[in-house]
Structures are given as C-alpha cells and as structure tokens.
C-alpha cells in the first residue's frame, strides 16, 4: 500500500489483518479491541472501492426479498375492477 492512509483507515486495515491472523470474524476482533464495527467495515469498503485493498474472496450474497410474479390478463382485469370498486366504497 503505497497510498497514504488516514488514521481510521490504518486502524481498520490493522484490524482486518489481525482478524485474519487470529482466524476470527472481523466483528469479533474489532469488539475485542474496543473498536466500533461500523466505521471499521466502512473504511475497509471504501479502500476496496478505491482499489487500495483487494476485493474479498467470498461472493456477495444478494437476495431480493421480492419475487417477480406474472399475473394473467384476466387476473389484471379482475384486480383493476376490484380496486375500482374498493375505491368507490371508500369515497375516493
């Protein structure tokens, strides 16, 4: 790392390396050292985005909480009719 790091970034990198050496999760290592985990993770993420630190070897888990569904044409018409009736009953 030829780039100059801020104090927070240096602490975060040291915590990351220490956690790897100890074989423990970064959050556990940071808590044991009395560090707030969020700033440590944020500093590491910023360094990875800038390319100062290499990316993680684990793929990111990105699961959507939403599931795409297809509604048949007749179902769309029925839903629109229901909504129109419901709105009329509500006074809107």
Q: What is the pLDDT of residues 54-70, one digit of tens each?
A: 887 777 777 778 877 77
Q: How much of the chain, in percent, has pLDDT values that exceed 70?
A: 79
What does the angle CA 30 – CA 16 – CA 33 come to, to the nearest 5 degrees? 25
> Is residue 73 in a domain?
no
Between CA 34 and CA 44 the distance in angstroms is 17
Between CA 27 and CA 38 the distance in angstroms is 9
- Of the given ranges (12-16, 21-25, 40-44, 74-78), which has the lowest mean pLDDT? 74-78
> Is residue 38 in a domain?
yes
Helices (H), the chain: 7-22, 26-32, 37-50, 73-90
Model pTM? Answer: 0.59
> Is residue 17 in a domain?
yes
Q: Residue 22 belongs to what domain range?
A: 7-50
Q: Do residues 19 and 26 make contact, with C-beta atoms less than 8 angstroms apart?
A: yes
**What is the domain count for the chain?**
1
> Is residue 65 in a domain?
no
Mean pLDDT of the chain, nearest integer: 83
> Is residue 44 in a domain?
yes
> Is residue 71 in a domain?
no
CA quadruple 44, 49, 53, 56: dihedral, nearest 10: 80
> Is residue 77 in a domain?
no
**Count of positions (residues) in the chain:** 92
């Amino acid at each position: 790392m030829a780039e100059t790091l801020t104090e927070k970034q240096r602490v975060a990198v040291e915590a990351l390396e220490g956690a790897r050496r100890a074989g423990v999760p970064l959050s556990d290592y940071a808590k044991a050292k009395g560090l707030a985990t969020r700033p440590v993770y944020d500093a590491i993420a910023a360094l990875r985005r800038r390319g100062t630190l290499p990316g993680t070897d684990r793929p990111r888990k990105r699961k959507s909480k939403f599931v795409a569904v297809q509604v048949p044409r007749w179902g769309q018409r029925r839903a629109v009719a229901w909504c129109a009736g419901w709105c009329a009953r509500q006074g809107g």
